[in-house]
Amino acid sequence: MIQAEGLTKRYGDKTAVNDISFTVKPGMVTGFLGPNGAGKSTTMRMIVGLDRPSEGSVTVNGKPYAAHHAPLREVGALLDAKAIHTGRSAYNHLLAMGATHGIGKARVNEVIGLTGLESVAGKRVGGFSLGMGQRLGIAAALLGDPATLILDEPVNGLDPEGVMWVRQLARHLASEGRTIFLSSHLMSEMALTADHLIVLGRGRIIADAPVADILATSTRTAVKLRSPRADQLAQLLQGADVTITTTEHDALTITGLTAPVIGEAAAQAGIALHELTPVGASLEEAYMELTQDDVEYHAGTTPTITEEAAR
Amino acid sequence: MSATTITTRPDARLSAPGIVRSEWIKLRSVRSTVWSYAIVVAASIGIAALLASTFGFGEQIPPAELHNGIIVQAATFGLYIGQLVVAVLGVLVISGEYSTGMIRSTLTAVPTRLPALAAKAVVLFVSTFVVGLVSVFGALLLALPILAGYGIEADFGDGALLGNLVLAALYLGLVSLFALGLGTILRSSAGGIAATLGVILLLPTIISAVIGITQAQWAMDISPYMFATAGTGIFSPGGPLSQGENLLVVLAWVAVSLVGGALLLKRRDA
C-alpha cells in the first residue's frame, strides 16, 4: 500500500510533480503512466526517500519509507537499471545489498535464479547489456521479498521473452496480495499488465481509475459498417450526438450509436448491411486523448514519446 | 525464468553490523581497492629498501640516539606515496557510487543514509589502517638488516619506535577518512581527487612559497596546521607541535570533512 498526500516536487521554478494524491492498493498491478517528463520517476524516487518532497508526504505500508526497520522487506524498487557499480559482479552487488538486512547467499542465489542471471552472475556489471542490467535491477528489488514492488520502466531494453516474464512476474506477485506499482510510457504494455491506472501529465494526475473504466470513457468507441446503400443509411442515422464519417464509398464510421441500434435501424429501413463492427478504442488511443494537452515535448503537431532524457 | 513462489524471510532487518558487512563486501569486490592497497604496500617496502641501501653515512656511524629516527624514516618514507594512493581510494569509495548511480541502491537499502556513510568510514579506516601496518612493518623488516650493515641498530626499549610506526599507519587511515568526506561533499571522482590531493600536496607548497617570498607571519603561523604537515608530525617528532597536537590537528581536518559530507548527504536529493 502506497499513499501520497499532496505530493509536490519543485526544482527551482520548475514544478516536476504538482500536488498529487493517490493510493496504490495491494493485490493488484497499478500502472503509472504518462509521457516523459510527466514526473513518474520523480514521484517514485520520493516514495523511497531518494528525493525529498517540496510539499506533501508519501507513506508505504503506513509509514514513511525511511521509518521502517527493514526497508527492503517493505519495498523493492527498480528505479534505474544503472544504479549499480559497474566494477562489481552481479553476485557481489546483490550480496552487498542483502547484507544490510542480513539477507544471505541463499536468497541471493534464489533471486539470481529467479531472474535468469546464473550464467553472468560472476561477471562485472560494466559489461552487461541493458536487458541484463534490468534483470539485475529486478533481482535486487526482489531481494527482501518485499510487500510492495516499485518498478520504473521495467521492460525497457528487455527482449520479448523478458517482457513476457516481467508481465507474468508482476501479475503473479500481485496475486499473492502484494502491491505492484509499475511505470511506463508505453500504453500497450500497461493494457496487458495493469488492473488500475494512474495517468500523470505535466506533474498532475489526469486519470486514476481501473483500466476498463479508462477504456470506457474514451469517446472513440465507434462502429464501422459497410453497406451498398451507405449514403441512405447515413441520412437515416443522423442525430445530435452522432458523428458519421464516410471512409470509403460504401463504408461508414459512426460514433455515438451502438451496433445493435444501427443494425435494428437498417433492418427496419430494409437496408442490407455487409459489415457491422464495433471498434473498441485501444488503451493507446484513450491515453493519447487523455494526455494530448499534457505532453511536455511536442514534435510539430504530433505528441511524441521519446526515450527518457535528463531527470 | 517462470515466476516461482517467493519464500518469506521474516527475520531480515536493517542492522548496523549488516551495513558494515555490506560496505566491506563493496570495498573488497572492486578492483581499485585491491590495486590501491597493493601499490601502498609495494611502494612502502620498495622505497624502504631503496632508501636504506642508499643512505650515505660513509665511514661515520651516526650517534646512537639518532638510530631510531633513521629507522622510522626508512620504514615510513613510502607512505608519502601511499597517502596519495589512499586519498584517491577514499574519494572513489563514495564518488564511484555517484558516478555509477550505485548510491541510489545504497540509499534505498539504508534510507536513513548516515549509517551507510558511517559504515563506509569504519570499513575504509580499518582496512587502510591494517594495510598501513603491513606496509610500515614490512618496510621495517626489510630495512633493519640493511641498516644494521651500516651499524645502525634499532632500540625497541622504550616502545617509541614501534609506537611511531603504528601512528604512521593511523595517519594513513585518517587520510582515507579525510578523502571520503571530501568525496561525499563533491560527489565526483575528478573533483574529489583534485580537492584532496590539493589539500595534501599543494596547500603546504603554497604556504612555503608564500613564506619564502613574503616572510608573512600569518603564513608561518598556519604552516604547521596544514593537513600533511601535521600528519607526518604525528609519527616523526621534532616539529613545532607535539605528536599529540599534530594528531588533534589532523583529527580536526577529518572531522570537518566527514561532518560536512554527512550533513550534505542527509540533506541532498540522491
Q: Which of A195-209, B26-40, B191-205 has the lowest mean pLDDT?
A: A195-209
Q: Has residue A127 got a pLDDT over 50?
A: yes
- Cα–Cα distance between A182 and A190 in angstroms, integer? 9
Share of chain B above pLDDT 90, in %: 79
For residue B77, is it within any domain? yes
CB contact under 8 A, B6 and A145: yes
For residue B6, is it within any domain? no
Q: Has residue B4 got a pLDDT over 70?
A: no
Q: Has residue A240 got a pLDDT over 80?
A: no
Mean pLDDT: which of A175-189, A207-221, B4-18 is highest?
Answer: A175-189
pLDDT score recorded for residue A304? 42
For residue B232, is it within any domain? yes
Say which of A49, A82, A176 has its CB closest to residue B101: A82
Domain ranges, residue B83: 16-267
More confident residue, B113 or A36: B113
Q: 3-class DSSP state for residue B152?
A: coil
Shortest Cα distance, chain A CAs vs residue B27, angstroms: 10
For residue B11, is it within any domain? no
pLDDT tens-place string over residues A249-300: 888 888 878 888 888 889 998 999 999 887 766 666 777 777 776 665 555 5
pLDDT score recorded for residue A187? 77
Alpha-carbon Rg for chain A in angstroms: 24
pLDDT score recorded for residue A282? 66
CB contact under 8 A, B101 and A107: no
Place of cell 464516410: A246
Contact A187, A32 (CB under 8 A): no
Q: Which of A297-311, B117-131, B205-219 has the lowest mean pLDDT?
A: A297-311
Q: Which residues of B touch A16 (CB under 8 A)?
A: none
- Cα–Cα distance between A145 and A108 in angstroms, integer? 11
Terminus-to-terminus CA distance in chain B, angstroms?
Answer: 32
Q: Which of A215-229, B45-59, B228-242 has the lowest mean pLDDT?
A: A215-229
pLDDT tens-place string over residues B145-176: 998 888 888 888 878 899 999 999 999 999 99
For residue B5, is it within any domain? no
Say which of B1, B26, B108 has its CB closest to residue A48: B108
CB contact under 8 A, B111 and A96: no
pLDDT score recorded for residue A307? 43
pLDDT score recorded for residue B63? 84
Q: Has residue A311 got a pLDDT over 70?
A: no
Substitution target in A45, A74, A92, A100 with the highest count of B β-carbons within 10 Å is A100
Q: Which residues of B touch A142 (CB under 8 A)?
A: 6
pLDDT tens-place string over residues B190-212: 999 999 999 999 999 999 999 99
| Domain total of chain B | 1
Substitution target in B1, B31, B35, B117 with the highest count of A β-carbons within 10 Å is B1
For residue B10, is it within any domain? no
Q: Has residue A305 got a pLDDT over 50?
A: no
User: What are the grid coordinates assigned to A84, written together?
Assistant: 549499480
ipTM of the complex model = 0.90
Q: Which of A25-34, A126-135, B48-57, B220-229 has the lowest mean pLDDT?
A: B48-57
Q: Which residues of A touch B109 (CB under 8 A)?
A: 71-72, 97, 100-101
CB contact under 8 A, B4 and A103: no
Residue of chain B whose alpha carbon sits nearest to that of A170: B3
- Burial, A43: exposed, middle or buried (Cβ in 10 Å; 0-12, 13-18, 19+)? buried
Residue of chain A whose alpha carbon sits nearest to that of B17: A100
Q: Has residue B15 got a pLDDT over 60?
A: yes
pLDDT tens-place string over residues A38-53: 899 999 999 999 999 9
Instruction: Count how many pairs of residues, chain A against chain B, have C-beta atoms within 8 Å.
Output: 139
For residue B3, is it within any domain? no
For residue B80, is it within any domain? yes
pLDDT score recorded for residue B239? 86
Contact B56, B145 (CB under 8 A): no
Say which of B8, B97, B270 has its CB closest to residue A145: B8
Q: Which of A165-169, A229-233, B255-259 has the lowest mean pLDDT?
A: A229-233
Three-class SS of chain A: CEEEEEEEEEECCEEEEEEEEEEECCCEEEEEECCCCCCHHHHHHHHCCCCCCCEEEEEECCECHHHCCCHHHHEEEECCCCCCCCCCEHHHHHHHHHHCCCCCHHHHHHHHHHCCCHHHCCCEHHHCCHHHHHHHHHHHHHCCCCCEEEEECCCCCCCHHHHHHHHHHHHHHHHCCCEEEEEECCHHHHHHHCCEEEEEECCEEEEEEEHHHHHHCCCCCEEEEECCCHHHHHHHHCCCCCEEEEEECCEEEEECCCHHHHHHHHHHCCCCCCEEEEECCCHHHHHHHHHCCCCCCEECCEECCCCCCCC
